[in-house]
């Protein structure tokens, strides 16, 4: 199952269409190993992202609920965020985001999953952490543009959300279904 055959594309030309904090897009002219060209392939540059399955001592899952403008709906999500330049590691980013968005901290943390929102177009990875025995340690410290509520859900409620596709964000659904599989929650 190793990478038997690397089919890397050759980049013949690369220009930035946009270089903004949340919209950095390259347009590239590429040549495939079969000799064909794609004259305009779009690559979206992002910093790495993080999210956390955070579970309290009494086995409640810490979720946030917020409006998501792409789909135009309000839904349950894991606490998630972006790796800022000043964060020493993705773990630090995840711990910072959990504290800021929910006020929960402490506990035992481990890296749970490293996947991509879209390997074909996005340059970044998403680090998912599992944090157990977290506890409320401070109040929320939201940014002005954050508008979210915190919810402590039972494992049964999490499974119900998953089974009814109410966890819409694929990165979160992947990590949570892995947790359900490993812990035989269904």
Q: Footprint of a copy of itself on residues 23-62 (CB under 8 A)?
A: 23, 25, 27-28, 30, 32-34, 36, 38, 40-44
Q: Annotate each residue in 4-23 with x if it binds a copy of itself (CB under 8 A) or - if it does not, as one string.
A: -xxxxx-------xx-x-xx
* 119 lines the binding site for a copy of itself (CB under 8 A): yes
Give the count of beta carbons closer than 10 Å to the beta carbon of residue 186: 11
* 1 lines the binding site for a copy of itself (CB under 8 A): yes
* 82 lines the binding site for a copy of itself (CB under 8 A): no
Rounded to the nearest angstrom, the gap between the alpha carbon of residue 90 and the centroid of all alpha carbons in its chain is 11
Strands 104-105 and 23-31 come out as: unpaired
CB 80 within 8 A of CB 175: no
* 110 lines the binding site for a copy of itself (CB under 8 A): no
Strand partners, 52: 79, 129
Scanning residues 125 to 184, which ones bind a copy of itself (CB under 8 A)?
125-126, 144-145, 147, 149, 157, 160-162, 165-171, 173-174, 177-178, 180-182, 184
* 72 lines the binding site for a copy of itself (CB under 8 A): yes
Residue 134 Cβ, how far from a copy of itself at the closest point, in Å?
22
33 vs 141, which CB is nearer to a copy of itself? 33
- # chain residues binding a copy of itself, by CB under 8 A: 75
Residues 19, 13: Cα–Cα separation, whole Å = 17
Within a 13 Å sphere around the CA of 84, how many CA atoms are in the beta-carbon half?
10
Residue 91 tokens read as 């773990």
Residue 1 Cβ, how far from a copy of itself at the closest point, in Å?
7
* 85 lines the binding site for a copy of itself (CB under 8 A): no
Residue 160 tokens read as 């119900």
CB 159 within 8 A of CB 180: yes
């Amino acid at each position: 199952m190793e990478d038997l055959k690397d089919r890397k594309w050759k980049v013949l030309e690369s220009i930035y269409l946009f270089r903004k904090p949340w919209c950095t897009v390259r347009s590239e002219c590429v040549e495939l190993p079969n000799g064909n060209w794609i004259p305009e392939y779009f690559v979206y540059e992002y910093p790495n992202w993080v999210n956390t399955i955070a579970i309290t001592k009494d086995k409640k899952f810490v979720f946030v609920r917020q409006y998501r403008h792409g789909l135009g709906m309000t839904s349950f999500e894991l606490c998630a965020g972006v790796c800022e330049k000043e964060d020493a590691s993705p773990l630090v980013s995840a711990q910072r985001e959990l504290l800021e968005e929910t006020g929960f901290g402490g506990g035992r943390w481990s890296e749970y999953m490293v996947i991509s929102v879209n390997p074909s177009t996005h340059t970044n990875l998403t680090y998912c952490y599992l944090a157990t025995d977290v506890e409320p340690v401070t109040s929320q410290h939201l940014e002005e543009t954050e508008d979210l509520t915190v919810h402590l859900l039972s494992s049964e409620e999490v499974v119900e959300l998953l089974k009814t596709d109410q966890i819409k964000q694929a990165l979160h659904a992947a990590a949570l279904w892995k947790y359900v599989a490993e812990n035989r929650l269904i």
